C-alpha cells in the first residue's frame, strides 16, 4: 500500500495532501516545519481499516506559501475546504504539536464535521514551550534563520545526529529533531511561512494562544477525545497533557515513554496502536448545528447585560 500525494487548487493556490487506505476518514494534521510525509508510517499502519488523509498545511511541505493568513483558524478552514472538495463530510481529526491547535480549532469551528479528536504532544494547552521556539518568535529571527538554516549546516546536523543515534547517545534524537526542523527552512518562502505561523501562536514569553478555557466544550460534547504525549518531550511539557486530561476527564490519556516530541516519527508503531484502539473502541459523534448552542451554553445561561453608563442614562 502506498501513501500517494495529490494536489488540488484551493482559492487560487495549490494544496497538496497524501492519502492511503479505505474506510472511515481520519485526517492527520502535522506541526510546524513538518509535512504530510512525516505521517507515512502511522498512516500505513491505519490504512487497512481507514481512509487516511494528511494535508500539507499552506506554507508547509509541497503546498503553496502565499502572503496571507496563517492563523489556526485559517488552517482549519483550509482543511474544511479540502475535505469538502474531495467529498468528505466528517472525519476524525488527529493533530500533532501546532497541528493539535489546528485540530482543536477545527472542532470549535466545525463541530458538525468532527467525529473524534486526537491531540498528539499538542500545542495550545499552556504557555511553556522550548526556548528555541520562543527565540524564533522574537524580532530579528528572520535574519538569524537565514544564517543557520543553510543546507550545509542542516546536513551536518543530520549526519551528527545519526552518528550519535548509532552510538545510542540520548542526544542523538534531539540533534536529529533539530536537523529535521531546520531542513524545510532552507528556502526563503518556507522561512516566511514558518515565522508567520509561529508568531500567530507564540511570542517571546511562550505560547500566547490557549484552548484551556474551551476544553469544557469537549467534556459537554459527545465527541470522543484522545490525548497522547511523548514521555521525553522537551519541546512542549508532558504536564500540559496531564493537566488537559484533568480538565477533560472524559478524555483518554496515553504516554509513549520511548518518544520525545515527535511520537509519529520516534514511535510510529506505538502511536498507531494507540490511535487504532481509540478509533475501534469509540463511536464518532459529530455535533449537529442545532445542538451546538446547547454545548456552548452548558456552563451558564445568558443574562441581560447592564453597564454603568446605561444605568445612569435618563429615561
- Inter-CA distances, 24 with 52, 61, 91, 143, 297, Å: 8, 25, 7, 45, 31
State the pTM of this model: 0.80
Q: Output the nine-digit C-alpha cell for 269.
A: 508503531
Domain that residue 79 falls in: 4-128+208-296
265 lies in some domain? yes
The backbone torsions φ and ψ at residue 3, rounded to the nearest 5 degrees and listed phi first, read -105, 80
**How many beta carbons lie within 10 A of that of residue 13, not counting itself?**
15
User: Residue 14 belongs to a domain with what CATH number?
Assistant: 3.40.50.1820
**Are the beta carbons of 84 and 110 closer than 8 angstroms?**
no
287 lies in some domain? yes
Helix (H, G, I), strand (E, B) or coil at 78: helix
- Inter-CA distances, 230 with 53, 139, 227, 242, Å: 23, 31, 11, 12
User: Which of 6-10, 99-103, 131-135 is the least confident region?
Assistant: 131-135
**Are the beta carbons of 228 and 256 closer than 8 angstroms?**
yes
Work out the pLDDT band at 169, boundaries 50, 70, 90: confident
Longest dimension (CA), the chain: 82
160 lies in some domain? no
User: Which of 8-22, 33-47, 141-155 is the least confident region?
Assistant: 141-155
194 lies in some domain? no
138 lies in some domain? no
Q: Quick one: pLDDT at residue 153?
A: 56
Mean pLDDT of 271-298: 91
Q: Quick one: pLDDT at residue 26?
A: 98
**Are the beta carbons of 145 and 258 closer than 8 angstroms?**
no
**Are the beta carbons of 30 and 96 closer than 8 angstroms?**
yes
Q: Quick one: pLDDT at residue 161?
A: 67
Work out the pLDDT band at 315, boundaries 50, 70, 90: very low
The answer on pLDDT for 232 being more than 60 is yes
305 lies in some domain? no
115 lies in some domain? yes
The answer on pLDDT for 194 being more than 50 is yes
> Alpha-carbon distance 25 to 42, whole Å?
14
Number of domains in the chain: 1
Q: Quick one: pLDDT at residue 28?
A: 98
199 lies in some domain? no
**Residues catalogued as catalytic:** 97, 233, 261
**Are the beta carbons of 16 and 5 closer than 8 angstroms?**
yes
The answer on pLDDT for 174 being more than 80 is no
Q: Comparing C-alpha atoms, which of 73, 114, 91, 81 is closest to residue 211?
A: 73
Q: Quick one: pLDDT at residue 314?
A: 47
> Alpha-carbon distance 104 to 120, whole Å?
11
Amino acid at each position: 500500500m502506498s501513501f500517494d500525494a495529490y494536489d488540488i487548487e484551493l482559492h487560487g493556490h495549490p494544496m497538496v495532501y497524501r492519502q492511503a487506505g479505505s474506510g472511515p476518514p481520519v485526517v492527520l494534521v502535522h506541526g510546524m516545519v513538518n509535512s504530510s510525509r512525516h505521517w507515512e508510517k502511522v498512516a500505513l499502519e491505519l490504512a487497512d481499516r481507514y481512509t487516511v488523509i494528511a494535508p500539507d498545511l499552506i506554507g508547509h511541505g509541497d503546498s503553496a506559501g502565499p502572503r496571507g493568513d496563517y492563523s489556526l483558524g485559517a488552517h482549519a478552514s483550509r482543511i474544511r475546504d479540502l475535505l469538502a472538495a474531495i467529498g468528505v463530510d466528517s472525519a476524525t481529526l488527529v493533530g500533532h504539536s501546532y497541528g493539535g491547535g489546528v485540530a482543536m480549532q477545527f472542532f470549535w469551528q466545525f463541530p458538525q464535521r468532527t467525529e473524534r479528536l486526537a491531540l498528539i504532544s499538542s500545542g495550545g494547552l499552556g504557555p511553556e514551550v522550548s526556548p528555541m521556539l520562543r527565540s524564533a518568535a522574537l524580532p530579528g529571527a528572520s535574519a538569524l534563520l537565514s544564517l543557520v538554516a543553510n543546507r550545509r549546516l542542516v546536513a551536518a546536523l543530520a549526519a551528527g545526529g545519526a552518528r550519535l543515534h548509532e552510538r545510542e547517545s540520548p542526544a542523538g534524537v534531539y540533534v536529529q529533531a533539530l536537523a529535521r526542523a531546520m531542513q524545510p527552512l532552507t528556502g526563503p518562502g518556507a522561512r516566511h511561512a514558518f515565522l508567520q505561523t509561529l508568531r500567530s501562536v507564540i511570542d517571546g514569553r511562550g505560547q500566547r494562544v490557549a484552548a484551556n478555557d474551551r476544553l469544557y466544550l469537549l467534556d459537554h460534547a459527545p465527541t470522543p477525545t484522545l490525548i497522547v504525549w511523548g514521555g521525553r518531550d522537551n519541546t512542549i511539557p508532558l504536564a500540559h497533557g496531564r493537566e488537559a486530561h484533568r480538565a477533560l476527564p472524559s478524555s483518554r490519556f496515553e504516554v509513549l515513554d520511548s518518544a520525545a516530541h515527535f511520537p509519529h516519527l520516534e514511535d510510529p508503531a506505538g502511536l498507531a496502536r494507540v490511535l487504532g484502539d481509540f478509533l475501534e473502541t469509540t463511536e464518532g459523534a459529530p455535533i449537529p448545528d442545532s445542538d451546538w448552542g446547547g454545548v456552548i451554553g452548558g456552563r451558564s445561561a445568558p443574562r441581560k447585560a447592564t453597564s454603568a453608563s446605561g444605568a445612569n442614562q435618563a429615561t
